[in-house]
Amino acid sequence: EVQLLESGGGLVEPGGSLRLSCAASGFSFSTYAMSWVRQAPGKGLEWVAGFSGSGGYTFYADSVKGRFTISRDNSKNTLYLQMNSLRAEDTAIYYCARDYYSSGYYCDNWGRGTLVAVSS
């Protein structure tokens, strides 16, 4: 069974930093692309960042480019999201998701999410 467990969320002041982690199990982590998707309170889903399964390629939404960094440690089956220069509009539940490729990439399994609140 695929399991994704996020951690690292919390309250941070504007301009601050936070690192999220996602521990994966139940599948061959290194062979899958992975993504972070967020959901602001009462709002819809927004894809944030992705990391390819091979080749080490990273991709970002324009809203976080230059501030967030996605990384992975395949030896630990863990995905990370380093968030710097945080803004109030980054307040959201952040979900870790496994990407599956057929005719395009889509998230086929999701974690339960971790809440990030940016406020002074």
Specify the stretch interacting with another protein by CB under 8 A; choose among 10-18, 21-29, 77-85, 103-111.
103-111
In terms of CB distance, is 89 or 108 closer to another protein? 108
Nearest to 100 by CA among 110, 115, 92: 110
Say whether 120 sits in a helix, a strand or coil. Answer: coil
Of 12-51, binders to another protein (CB under 8 A) are: 33, 35, 44-47, 50
In terms of CB distance, is 17 or 74 closer to another protein? 74
Among 19, 76, 87, 112, contact with another protein (rule: CB under 8 A) = 112
Spatial distance between the Cα atoms of 13 and 4, rounded to a whole number of angstroms? 27
- Contacts with another protein, residue ranges (CB under 8 A): 33, 35, 44-47, 50, 52, 57, 59-61, 95, 99, 102-113
